[in-house]
Homo-oligomer: A and B are copies of this chain.
Amino acid sequence: MRATLMYGAGDVRVEHVPDPTLREPTDALVRVLRSCICGSDLWPYRSMPTTEHGQRMGHEFLGVITELGSEVSGLRHGDMVLAPFVWADNTCDFCREGLQTSCRHGGLWGNDLDGGQGEAVRVPQAQGTLVKLPVGEDSALLPSLLTLSDVFCTGHHCAVKAGVGPRTTVTVIGDGAVGLSAVLAARRLGAQRILLMGRHTERTDLGREFGATDVIAERGEEGVTRAREMTGGDGTHTVLECVGTKSALDTAIAVARDGGVVSRVGVPQYEEGPLGFGMFMRNITITGGVAPARAYIDELMPDVLDGAIDPGRVFDRTITLDGVPDGYRAMANREALKVLIQP
């Protein structure tokens, strides 16, 4: 089959790789119908050291089950299924607590496993990992359902960990696909006031449609000043940091109201961050982390199926596998917000 490999910064190739086969009785094979490129794929795309063997890419996909291990129950050949971006047994204590990202028998796609940006994937712990989709292969809902694999669940996780609700004001930092998903998630959780910090008008326009009440195009100190002006000088109860840079974190803390929460889901591109006296005296909490998408899919899918939310609008370009290298380039250059792959 064909799949995507990254060989170093800027070097993405689609190549022939061995077809996946069942290895464990808990495995399933899935033919990929939709996949996509993640903002987090852009970090290695910008900085990965050159490797000889390449790294399999992609951690968001949905597709059709083509083969099942003997110990997988509840799933059948031909089922439409969605995979969260971390696989998990969904039965261990961490999974039962809704932290499938720390599953005792789970892990990340890629490395020695297939990635989602290919024609097929061997899915470990298939019974725990995969979620059945009650739609057909030609459903118009596939893009929105695919966002439950990662990006929308990540925005939702950010909002949930922040404690967003009807009485919390919200700032979302970042107008990428995760930031816009966080806006939509915050709105869905009842937030009435959502400030979106981002400077790409076509993106913040979608952010407004998703529920942002105010847009702040300024960055850094100017952005902080604007956000504080808009909130009577106080900042917002919750701040959803959806970028991952140190400067975004600094901004997040600066626009948080005393006693507030900074929730971050952008993969941190820093080792240390501000935790000093000022934050301490203001009782600011820093939370968030990698999103256990599996924990949220059952709750969020009905809203996608009945059209209450349409998180798939973050996809603004659709490509085939051949177009993947160009898709990376387009996302890295901010020509595309998020790229959908139909292998």
Contact = CB atoms under 8 A, between A and B. Distances in A.
A259 B290 contact: no
A283 B86 CA distance: 14
A280 B276 CA distance: 19
Interface in A276-290: 276-277, 279-290
Interface stretch (A97-105, A131-139, A171-179, A214-222): A97-105
A284 B290 CA distance: 10
B289 A102 contact: no
Contact of A267 (B264, B274, B277, B283): B277
B161 A259 contact: no
A273 interface: yes
Contacts of A296: none
B276 A275 contact: no
B268 A271 contact: no
Contact of A94 (B258, B270, B275, B285): B258
A312 to B, nearest CB: 26
Contacts of A264: 280
Nearest to A86: B281
Given A99-B258, A259-B99, A283 B275 contact: no
A179 to B, nearest CB: 17
Interface residues of A, number: 33
A196 interface: no
A148 interface: no
Interface in A234-281: 249, 258-259, 264, 267-268, 270-277, 279-281
A33 B300 CA distance: 59
Interface in A91-129: 94, 97, 99, 101-102
A104 to B, nearest CB: 10
Contacts of A99: 258-259, 283
Nearest to A274: B272
A286 B285 contact: yes
A101 to B, nearest CB: 7
A270 B275 contact: yes
Contacts of A270: 275-276
Contact of A285 (B279, B283, B285): B285
Given A94-B259, A258-B102, A259-B99, A268 B289 contact: no
A294 to B, nearest CB: 14
12 contacts: A99-B283, A101-B283, A161-B283, A249-B275, A268-B276, A270-B276, A271-B275, A272-B272, A283-B290, A284-B289, A285-B287, A287-B287
